[in-house]
């Protein structure tokens, strides 16, 4: 099982899409291990987007991400990072396939609704940036055998 970070960005919150986005992950079978609404502090946004610091879009990205509340979520499941990335769709809403979150809800190439960690290393770093110890929970879900097909136990 992997745990990954998802951020419903300011445009997703302002457009009242946070719940609809979160439901899609839950319906897929991913577990909400942590969630909180917050306005990202400037220093945190700068740390989060440090790899883009030298790029021309960096100042605008940091300003955008600190402009309004976001929903920060820790999602857990089998191959959670790849599953979330696929569900999000292409980075630019105008290029995202229908059926993906961005393909269904975004058309802007700048405001793309959602962030998801792109690797296990990034997920560990980002989860540590946005959640304090104890805020990401570990618990059993009653439907896990049905979500992950443990039917081999029945044979």
Tell me what pLDDT residue 155 has. 47
Q: Write the CB contacts of 134 (distance below 8 Å, at least 6 apart in sequence).
A: none
Can you give the pTM of this predicted structure?
0.93
Residue 77 bridge partners (DSSP): 2
Tell me which residues of the chain have a pLDDT lower than 70. Answer: 151-155
Collapsed DSSP state (helix, strand, coil) of residue 73? strand
Domains recognised in the chain with CATH numbers: 2-130 (3.30.70.141)
Tell me what pLDDT residue 150 has. 75
User: Which residues are catalytically annotated?
Assistant: 115
How does pLDDT run across 42-61, given as a tens digit for each residue?
999 999 999 999 999 999 99
Tell me what pLDDT residue 34 has. 98
């Amino acid at each position: 099982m992997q745990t990954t970070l998802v951020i419903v960005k300011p445009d997703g919150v302002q457009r009242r899409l946070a719940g609809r986005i979160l439901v899609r992950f839950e319906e897929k079978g991913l577990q909400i291990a942590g969630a909180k609404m917050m306005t990202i502090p400037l220093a945190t946004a700068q740390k989060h987007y440090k790899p883009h610091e030298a790029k021309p879009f960096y100042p605008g990205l940091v300003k955008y991400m600190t402009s309004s509340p976001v929903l920060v979520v820790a999602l857990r499941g089998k191959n959670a990072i790849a599953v979330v990335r696929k569900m999000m769709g292409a980075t630019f809403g105008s290029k995202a396939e229908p059926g993906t979150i961005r393909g269904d809800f975004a058309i802007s190439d700048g405001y793309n609704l959602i962030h998801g960690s792109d690797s296990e290393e990034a997920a560990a770093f980002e989860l540590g940036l946005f959640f304090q110890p104890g805020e990401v929970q570990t618990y059993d879900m009653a439907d896990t055998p049905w979500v992950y097909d443990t039917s081999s136990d029945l044979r």
